Amino acid sequence: MKLGSTGPEVFPLGLGCMGMSGTYGKTDDAESIRTIQAAIERGVTLIDTGDFYGMGHNEMLVGRAIEGRRDKVQLSVKFGALRGPDGSFNGNDTRPIAVKNFIAYSLKRLGVEVIDIYRPARLDPSVPIEDTIGAIADLVKAGYVRHIGLSEVGVETIRRAHKVHPIVDLQIEYAIGTRGPEAEIFPVLAELGISATLYGVFSRGLLTGSKSTEAGDWRAHQPRFAGENGAKNEDSVRALQRFAHERGMTPGQVALAWVLARQPAFVPVVGAKTRAQLEDVLGALARPLSKDDLAALESVVNISGDRYDPAQMKHLDSERR
């Protein structure tokens, strides 16, 4: 599968590594490395990380995992989010001078000479997107970046960025309970020849019945997991589980198969933290859902609540209408 009209050929699934750096609770570096390597052995080529995941921990982890395997993977790296020593998020910085600073550290932590797809994690409202993309385009010319991507931006920003340099893909959240991009964003991507890498296909574990019980698991306070929304969503999760059981599938396979069926031209990025989780989701490739299956599933799954808390939603360019 090709990412956009100008991007690389990739496996139909990508591996997202954010969860390997403590975002959803405890992790095991050794198991994380084995999971990344198992994914590569199974043919997965797109490995997604961010320089702010674990304040650099995730890039160093990925770097260890791909050592000796660099020619088998495409690295997708997000940058721009500012972190504090206490783990806090302190905005975004995508000034041209910051772009060059961020990539210098990413190259070192990953142990590579070039990043395949480099993208700002969020839109920096204080910096014109043309300036940011122009700076990455300079890195392409210099040989430090192969392709440029975007993340969580809306239609106007996509168009403006694409005029500066070809964009190969937009990374955006998409799942059976997160279908907002279908209305305006996906049609523009098709018009411009841009692909999408779809994260959050399990709605951060909500659709698979995962519970946010560990210290440090930020989902505990997110709208879909807490309060009245959390209680309502449990009904949808149980319905999805019944649907999966009736078809001899796991909930994760069903959630992923739905995305594959609805958006066959795009690439889901799955956040498997263990080899067992990886093997489970890979099983979805051999279990496609029919049109009748899609209709039946959509009739019983209705997810309530925003995907982020109000403060984060306010800063998402992709949610502006």
Q: Which residues are catalytic?
A: 53
The Cα 300–Cα 69 span in angstroms is 43
The Cα 92–Cα 80 span in angstroms is 5
Instruction: List the end-to-end C-alpha distance of the chain, in Å, as a whole number.
Output: 31
- Among 135, 104, 142, 97, CA closest to 119: 135
- Among 78, 49, 92, 94, CA closest to 149: 78
The residues, any chain, with a CB within 8 Å of residue 125's CB and separated by 6 or more, are 315
Rounded CA Rg of the chain:
19
Q: Kindly tell me the burial class for residue 226, based on how many C-beta atoms sit within 10 Å of its own C-beta (0-12, 13-18, 19 or more).
A: middle
Tokens 């440029």 belong to residue: 148
> What stretch of H or E contains 168?
strand 167-173
The Cα 251–Cα 284 span in angstroms is 10
253 three-class SS: helix
